[in-house]
Amino acid sequence: MTVHHIVGASVPRKEGWDKVTGAARYVDDMVLPGMLYGATVRSSIARGKIGKISFDPSIAWGEFVLVTARDIPGKNCVALILEDQHCLASDTVNHAEEPILLLAHADRHKLRKAVEAVSIDYEPLPPVHTMAESEQQSIIIWGADNTFKSYLVEKGDVDAVWKEAAHIIEGEYFTGAQEQLYIENNGVIAAFDPENGVTVWGSLQCPYYVHKALMALCGLPEDKIRVVQMETGGAFGGKEEYPSMIAGHAALLAMKSGRPVKIIYDRMEDMVATTKRHPSRTRHRTAVSKDGKILGGEIEFTIDGGAYATLSSVVLSRGTIHAGGPYYWPSVRIRTKALATNTPPHGAFRGFGAPQSLFAMERHMDRIAQVVGISPVEIRRRNFLKPGQTTTTQQVIREEINLNHLLDRALELSGYAAKKTRFAEENKNGMRKKGIGIAAFLHGAGFTGSGERYLNSLVGVEAGADGNVRVLVSSAEFGQGTNTVLCQIAAEALGLPYESVAIAQPDTTVVPNSGPTVASRTAMIVGKLVQSAAKGIKETLTKMRLLSDDYTPEQFRAACREYIAAHGALKSYARYEAPGDVYWDDEKYRGEAYAAFAWAVYVAEVTVDLTTYAVTVDDVVALQEVGKVLHPVLAEGQITGGVAQAIGFALYEKVVWQNGRMINNQMTNYIMPTSVDLPPIRVFFEELGNVHGAHGAKGIGELPMDGPAPAIVNAVEDAIGVGFQSIPLLPEDLFEALRPASVEQEAPSSTRGAA
Amino acid sequence: MNLPPETGAKCEVLFTVNGKAKKVLVHPMERLLDVLRNELELTGTKEGCGEGECGSCSVLLDGMLVNSCLVPVAQASGASIVTIEGMSAHVLMNPLQEAFLECGGAQCGICTPGMILAAVHLLEKKPEPALADIREALAGNLCRCTGYMQIFEAVARAARRRVRK
């Protein structure tokens, strides 16, 4: 067998040339004959009963297609986990911007005017806007207690540790909502004909989520729904569940009108109406020994789910499991809950609960260090998980991970010790204070617990008579490199050149359900299945004696041709099989939470300007152990991109709420990092390998979102000696906390976020 | 933003697009972006924000890098416009495209056409840009995927290759 080095090499991105020439086809680039444009009339209030709907008589309504909840042929819901969210509100609305009515017209300008010419009366009901109000339960807006989901993780006897503790350290930490801000807004086209049913082309992550939702909504069988993913201009979780909503809307308009309907949100609609990262609150109470060892603790983690259940239970799950960080807890009690508020539902965003609870953990570690009187480095060293020890869910760490080694290397790469000394000296003078902070963290790859078993993913590989191979998966490319990495794996498994392997466009009539493109699962879990399916092709050909064990691409082609001539198509499928040693108890939330964790230590260096109160990040060292790096350039791009988003999460990106509605829903007033805002992001990998993933790969997509925010806020504290427990940390927050007493007297107000 | 032009008040606009004379019948306040995409089917120019923040709709208008979402088409009357589709023969194009592919400068690709036009615009003025020049020249083009590092590397690599030739 020829030795191939396709996996591990930075081969060209499969769809790269189309992207650099402008030829790549996104959904808004597609036009169908007779196509109409669709638009959504939304609720202007956060909660209430819908009253009279009036239509301004100056509009020629007869030209428009109009859809209300009454036109829904199937169930009026966006089917996902629970079916509590309506596709179109009919009696009541539970958040601002909730869709009520749909319009379509061939002329986009007329459509826009028509949307404004619909007015809706409401009988308002009292809304709940904060987690605190929601948990008070004086107003019930969802279920019996405003709680979508709660978890309890218990390990050891926490109640016994308080009396042994030399220190009991408490802290409360907050993270805000964050907009995914993919540059391509949400969009779909739907077409309908009675014979073939509904076809949807869209910008989306999970073709089969949309497929499932449309079956329920349209009341059509499996084979009468077709979902095709177009080139997708960024997603980051923001196109995990929301496309089921917008696809439903376009499908309803197409079914009613009999014409194709395109719905493309503009930026303001996308930001105001679609999902964001869940705001969170974490409370820690930790028992620590005299020498800084964690004895046990209580962690309360609460997230704001918005008005409907959507994915909150799953986001909460990941946040729960990551809440203890990469540390050994002899005993712990973790209580978590996802609460309902009258805001648009919060949803998937890179990291999925983990960046929230890890922000709290890593800020809290610095606080523990201060109380114990040791350094942030030493507190982590003394508590790191070691192989053989168990996590908070009692998962035994079987990997030979050495977190002290990762920490040492990150400190060395960042010049930590020398900088720490130099900054302490330099900060004595001047208004610009420098600081350096660290964060250690882990990120589980794949679905949590029994999730992968339920997903039951199926992957196909197909060989043609020309010897070219096609990978059949529903895993979507939206920038991360899915197409490229899965083709690398198939090429390597078959001993073929990378150029002979292509990936099918995700189309539910062509590709099997390999699960959603989420949870850092694609390279590791789907990749492994692609590898098995590809090997299946080879086995079929060798078993039929059409191919020997050692072959050239020409011999492979000849074998394929011969097989196909005799038997028809040459396809091989592989289905997920849970590793035998994975044990998980959904009731007790105990066991092997993930087949593998990626591990990381990040170091951030900042300058705090006490004249402008701005924080600038000067350097980030991102060191991670991610198993085998399948494609160095793509892997590095995942890390730099994630770090950039996390810097935004920490310092720039603030969703401003007013009556449950985002009021800064524009790129002019919701600020993401530009090319001049970011520091050098220096990426380093360690490769330990992983038995469960293809070639030992683990997931890496979400990991870089977890560490930068706490590292930055830790660095800010190092610079100015003031700890902040809430992000985003904007200049006005620093000003509030640091302003001189004289200013304080003139305008008294709480110093929110200050320690 | 994006105020709908009154329909029915169309007029003829003449300009040069990618080297060819074009005549369109549109409302004078129609956005150049929409005219390029819908009338001329040049869909390589993308809309990200519709308010001149993200740069995905960047085109060259008489050699200036502009956000085509902020240009009423009447203002482009008589101008020469170049979109990503019209750049294929440009001497800087191939080095930039190859460097973007090698360095990972394109992920989801939606900002890429605008980003590459901004890079061309920079390298035309400054063939040997420093990192600070690259950062500044691309500051009007937002990328949510890459964290920009690999884009900087791509632009620097393309510049080095051009200079060496």
Range list of β-strands (E), A518-675:
570-575, 584-585, 590-591, 596-609, 615-625, 657-658, 661-662
d(CA A673, CA A198): 40
Assigned token pair, B73: 């088409």
Sequence letter at residue A212: K
Beta carbons of A20 and B116 less than 8 Å apart: yes
Nearest-by-Cβ selection for A21 from B84, B103, B141: B84
* Measured distance CA(A243)–CA(A182) in Å, rounded: 14
What is the residue whose two structure tokens read 């960024």? A234
DSSP category for residue A231: B
Closest residue on chain B to A235 (Cα): B108
Task: Return d(Cα A480, Cα A484) in angstroms, integer.
Answer: 9
Task: List the single residue in A266, A633, A645 with the smallest CB-CB distance to B104.
Answer: A633
Asked if A19 and B42 touch (Cβ cutoff 8 Å), the reply is no
Determine the distance in angstroms separating the CA of A26 from the nearest CA of chain B, rounded to an integer. Answer: 8
Q: Which residues of B touch A14 (CB under 8 A)?
A: none
* Domain coordinates in residue numbering, chain B: 11-87, 93-164
Query: What pLDDT does A1 receive?
Result: 43
Q: Do B44 and A21 touch (CB under 8 A)?
A: yes
Residues of A in contact with B1 (CB under 8 A): 268
Task: Supply the pTM of this predicted model.
Answer: 0.96
Q: Is A225 within 8 Å of A509 (Cβ atoms)?
A: no
Q: Is the pLDDT of residue A716 over 60?
A: yes
CATH architecture of A16-24+457-575: 2-Layer Sandwich (3.30)
What integer best gives the mean pLDDT of chain A?
95
Report, as an integer, the average pLDDT of A473-502. Answer: 97
Contact at CB, A15 and B109, closer than 8 angstroms: yes
Residue A573 corresponds to which tokens in the numbers above?
């499928």
pLDDT of A181 > 70? The answer is: yes
Cβ-based neighbours of A422, under 8 Å, separated by 6 or more? none
Name chain B contacts of A19, Cβ cutoff 8 Å: 106, 109, 112
Residue B1, pLDDT score: 41
Question: Nearest CA of chain B to the CA of A637: how many Å?
Answer: 6
Tell me what pLDDT residue A745 has.
Answer: 47
Give the residue on B whose Cα is nearest the Cα of A29. Answer: B43
Nearest-Cα distance to chain B for A11, in Å, is 8
Which residues sit opposite A42 in a β-bridge?
A99
Dihedral of alpha carbons A504, A505, A509, A513, sign? positive
The DSSP line for A358-407 is HHHHHHHHHHHHHHHTS-HHHHHHTTB--TT-B-TT--B--S---HHHHH
Q: Are B59 and B18 in contact (CB under 8 A)?
A: no
Which residues contact residue A544 at a Cβ distance below 8 angstroms, ignoring those fewer than 6 apart? A563
Give A619's strand partners: A605
Q: CB of A202 within 8 A of CB of A227?
A: yes
Q: Do B145 and A637 touch (CB under 8 A)?
A: yes
Architecture in CATH for domain A280-448+589-738: 2-Layer Sandwich (3.30)
Q: Is A667 in contact with B146 (Cβ distance < 8 A)? A: no
For residue A231, which residues of chain B lie inside 8 Å, CB to CB?
109
CA atoms lying within 13 Å on the CB side of residue B150: 29
Structure tokens at A740: 């001189």
Task: Assess whether the previous peptide bond of A728 is cis (omega < 30° from 0).
Answer: yes
Which of A21, A27, A115, A498 is most worth mutating to test chain B (most B CB atoms within 10 A of its CB)? A21
Are the beta carbons of B7 and A109 separated by less than 8 Å?
Answer: yes
Binary contact (B108, A110; C-beta < 8 A): no
- Which two tokens mark B97? 């495209």
A236–B149 C-beta distance less than 8 A = no
Q: Is B109–A112 a contact, with Cβ atoms under 8 angstroms apart?
A: no
- Share of residues in chain A with pLDDT > 90 (%): 92
**For residue B164, what pLDDT is reported?**
75
- Distance of alpha carbon A482 from alpha carbon A14, whole angstroms: 9
Which residues make Cβ contacts (< 8 Å) with residue A567, sequence separation at least 6? none
Same fold, A16-24+457-575 and A31-125+181-273: yes
Give me the residue spans of the domains in chain A: 16-24+457-575, 31-125+181-273, 280-448+589-738
Is the Cβ–Cβ distance between A233 and A227 less than 8 Å? no
Picking from B4, B51, B112, the nearest residue to A666 by CB comes out as: B51
- Look at A666 and B83 and tell me if their CB atoms are within 8 Å: no
- Read off the pLDDT of residues A375-389 as tens digits, 9 standing for 90 and up: 999 999 999 999 999
Fold of B93-164: DNA polymerase; domain 1 (1.10.150)
Angle, vertex CA A165, rays to CA A161 and CA A171, nearest 5: 95
List residues bridging with A463 in a β-sheet: A469, A570
Q: Considering CB atoms only, which of A29, A181, A676 is closest to B136? A: A676
Backbone conformation region of residue A410, classed left if phi is above 0, alpha if psi is from -120 to 50, else beta: alpha
pLDDT of the residue at A194: 95
For B89, the closest chain A residue by CA position comes to A21
* Chain A residues within 8 A of B47 when measuring between CB atoms: 28, 185, 266
Q: Could you give the C-alpha distances from A672 to A24, A143, A180, A609, A646, in angstroms and in order?
A: 25, 36, 10, 20, 10
Contacts of A612 (CB under 8 A, 6+ apart): A731
What whole-number distance in Å separates Cα of residue A18 and Cα of residue A31?
19
Nearest-5° Cα angle at A20, A15 to A23: 70
Chain B nearest C-alpha distance from A199 (Å): 22
Q: What is the pLDDT of residues B107-155, one digit of tens each?
A: 999 999 999 999 999 999 999 999 999 999 999 999 999 999 999 999 9
Count how many Cα atoms sit within 13 Å of the Cα of residue A344 in the half-sphere of its side chain.
30
Contact status, residue A354 vs residue A280, Cβ threshold 8 Å: no
Residues 6+ apart with CB under 8 A from A326: A384, A385, A403, A440, A441, A442, A599
Of B46, B139, B149, Cβ closest to residue A681: B149
Instruction: Give tens-digit pLDDT for A242-290.
Output: 999 999 999 999 999 999 999 999 999 999 999 999 999 999 999 999 9
Residues in chain B: 165
Distance of alpha carbon A243 from alpha carbon A226, whole angstroms:
14
Min Cα separation A621/chain B (Å): 13
**Interchain CB distance below 8 Å, B43 and A479:** no
Provide the token pair at A424.
Answer: 């302490």
Distance from CA of B51 to the nearest CA of A (A): 8
Contact B103 A633 (CB under 8 A): yes
**Identity (one letter) of the amino acid at B16?**
T
CATH class of B11-87: alpha beta
Residue A741 pLDDT more than 70?
no
> Which percentage of chain A shows pLDDT scores above 70?
97
CB-CB contact of A381 with A404 (8 Å): yes
At residue A282, the pLDDT reads 98
Task: Provide the terminal-to-terminal Cα distance of chain B, rounded to the nearest Å.
Answer: 45
Q: How far is B134 from chain A (nearest CA, A)?
A: 9
Residue B35 above 90 pLDDT? Answer: yes
For chain B, the farthest-separated pair of C-alpha atoms sits apart, in whole angstroms, at 55
φ and ψ at residue A303, rounded to 5 degrees:
-125, 155
Q: Tell me: pLDDT of B4 over 90.
A: no
Q: How far is CA B143 from CA A151, A644, A673, B56, B107, in A?
A: 37, 10, 9, 9, 9
Residues of A in contact with B46 (CB under 8 A): 26, 28, 183-184, 233
Mean pLDDT over residues A513-523, rounded?
93
Task: Number of A to B CB contacts under 8 A, please give it.
Answer: 179
Instruction: Write the residue in B2, B88, B148 that is nearest to A644 by C-beta.
Output: B148
pLDDT band at B34 (very low <50, low <70, confident <90, very high): very high
Instruction: Kindly determine whether residue A640 and residue B147, on different chains, have CB atoms separated by under 8 Å.
Output: yes
Radius of gyration of chain B (CA): 16
* A73 contacts: CB under 8 Å, gap ≥ 6: A217, A218, A219, A220, A255
Q: State the average pLDDT over residues A711-737.
A: 97
CB contact under 8 A, A13 and B144: no
User: How much is the pLDDT for A742?
Assistant: 53
The shortest C-alpha distance from B24 to chain A (Å) reads 17
B156 contacts B129 by C-beta, under 8 angstroms: yes
Residue B5 has a pLDDT of: 54
Beta-carbon separation of A678 and B147 below 8 A = yes
Tokens at A643, concatenated: 């770090």
Assigned CATH topology for domain A31-125+181-273: Aldehyde Oxidoreductase; domain 4 (3.30.365)
Length of chain A as a residue count: 755
Give the DSSP letter string of A431-456.
SEEEEEEEEEEEEEESSSTTHHHHH-
DSSP string, A543-577: HTTSS-SS--HHHHHHHHHHHHHHHS-EEEEEE--
Please answer yes or no on whether A636 and B104 come within 8 Å at the CB atom.
yes
The ipTM is 0.96
Strands A570-575 and A584-585: unpaired
Q: Do B108 and A678 touch (CB under 8 A)?
A: no
Q: What is the pLDDT of residues A629-672, one digit of tens each?
A: 999 999 999 999 999 999 999 999 999 999 999 999 999 999 99
Mean pLDDT for A544-561 is 96
Contacts of A109 in chain B (CB under 8 A): 4-7
Exposure of B125 by Cβ count < 10 A (0-12 exposed, 13-18 middle, 19+ buried)? exposed
The token pair at A445 is: 């790859």
Identify all chain A residues contacting B6, using CB atoms and an 8 Å cutoff. 109
Query: Do the chains contact at A640 and B148, CB–CB below 8 Å?
Result: yes
- Report the pLDDT value the prediction gives residue A523, as an integer from 0 to 100: 92
Cβ separation of A21 and B1 shorter than 8 Å?
Answer: no
Q: What residues does A26 pair with on adjacent strands? A: A231
A70 and A317 in contact (C-beta within 8 Å)? no
B7/A266 Cβ within 8 A: no
From chain B, pick out residues whose CB is under 8 angstroms from the CB of A668.
51, 53
DSSP per residue over B74-119, as a string?
GGGTT-EEE-GGGGTTSTTHHHHHHHHHHHT--SS-SSHHHHHHHH
Q: Do A637 and B4 touch (CB under 8 A)?
A: no
The tokens for A232 are: 């997708």
Tokens of A141: 């807006």
Q: Do B65 and B141 touch, CB atoms closer than 8 A?
A: no
Q: Is the dihedral of CA A125, A131, A137, A138 positive or negative?
A: negative
